Structure 1
Amino acid sequence: MPLLRVEDLHKRYGTEEVLRGVSLTVVKGETKVVIGPSGTGKSTLLRCINRLTEPDRGRVWLGDSEVTGKGTNLNRIRSQIGFVFQDFNLFTHLTALDNVRLGPLRVKGMGKKEATERAMAELTRVGLADKASAYPAELSGGQQQRVSIARALAMDPQLILFDEPTSALDPELIGEVLGVMVKLAEEGMTMIVVTHEMGFARSVADEIVFMEHGVIVEQGPPEKMFRSPEVARTGDFLRKISELYGDAA
């Protein structure tokens, strides 16, 4: 059974149909990279998966639990689906340590000692143990995003969603965030990543999903998508995005 199943998701904002019947599956340990032009529904897809945005139609399952079911315990589901935003979304009045241990304390009900140990372990995992007492304003963008990743990891999620995690970063800081994500993929973390970083997609993704106009145009392993896509538009987009953002991992 796939870890995640998305079935016929639809979402409309006013007259604009952002998702027009998106279906996909993710198996445990897989890294799926979602690409496509701006405004094509990639971020909306991620937000519908954990119901930060309510889909108009369609169903989502995490394992054998229906995320979109009536009476679903959203706090429990969201504790199992981590979310890393492009703009970090850290609490500015809390230290890195407090940002990371807040979820284990409030949602998982851990004691302070256990939550602190968990948070420090995850800050260490992303290379920021020495920044535990720093506030977001004292951290670079790359460091803030790594704290965001540690915050997601501290909940011991089954799946992490990354919504363009490097798009708000200066070019020289992108590598430190991608490095953490590559390590997570190598460790077997299940991830869906919306990104323009084609080097990451080529080297880390198990499958690339190309979306446009609210639908999946084509999906497949990186080698096939880059070398011999079935749809001409896929190849055209990949060439343009690689030229624009580069192709280095």
Structure 2
Amino acid sequence: MLSEKYRCAVVISRAPIIQFGLGAIMAQSFCEYETIYCATPEEITLSLLQHANVVIVDLTNDLRQARSACKTYYSMMMQCLDIHWVFIVPLPIYPLAVELLLRSESTLLSSMEPVEGIINAVRSGNRRAEIIGRSLLSDRDYDDDDVSQPALSLTYSEKQVLRLLGKGWGINQIASMLKKSNKTVSAQKNSAMRRLLLRSNAELYAWINSSYGAGILNLNPMNGEGKQWKKAEQEETLPLLNNAP
């Protein structure tokens, strides 16, 4: 019978040097863990998975078979829901990782994640997973031609809907506040997603919570509400108030 203090980490990577690096992080910062190394998910037994507390997966060498690899890990995640999964994700796989691997028990980190980011992710555990690491959402992870240009072409109404979504409002609440139908608000959200080349709600919220998206939408609490945004809101809301019975 395993001791209650027994903690197990599984590191999966096809690259020995990455195995070594992740192993060094675990040994220096999490000496209470026994770390087990695998090159592929096929090497992991269900028994090992059931005893693991955290599984760190390096996807940087799975570019050619990214969908297959993500589907394999998704299946493994469904078998053991109490494990904290930490995925090291290269940018080309990011949309696929968001689609298949983003869950409350998982954390997505950039393949360029600093050591401290990996340590914080493991330390947080599956109950306080950051979901998507800041490095993966930083400005340098966005291609200017693919993302920043469409963002600048968002209409004011589209920005308004995304901003309210970012503040935690639901479609029904936004429609009520803006005196619009749910169908109109949903259409504006979907139109914004097409402009931003986003394919799912998970990708949309990842963009909203990124430093770049938050800047476009004036959601950065360090910068306040944003005088320009306030003025635009007042200009749009004023006619509604004047026309109210």
For Structure 1 versus Structure 2, the TM-score category normalised by the shorter chain is 0.3 to 0.5
Q: Point out the structure with max Rg over C-alpha.
A: 2
The structure carrying a bigger helix percent of its residues is 2
Point out which structure has higher relative CO (alpha carbons under 8 A, 6+ apart): 1
TM-score by length of 1: 0.33
TM-score by length of 2: 0.33
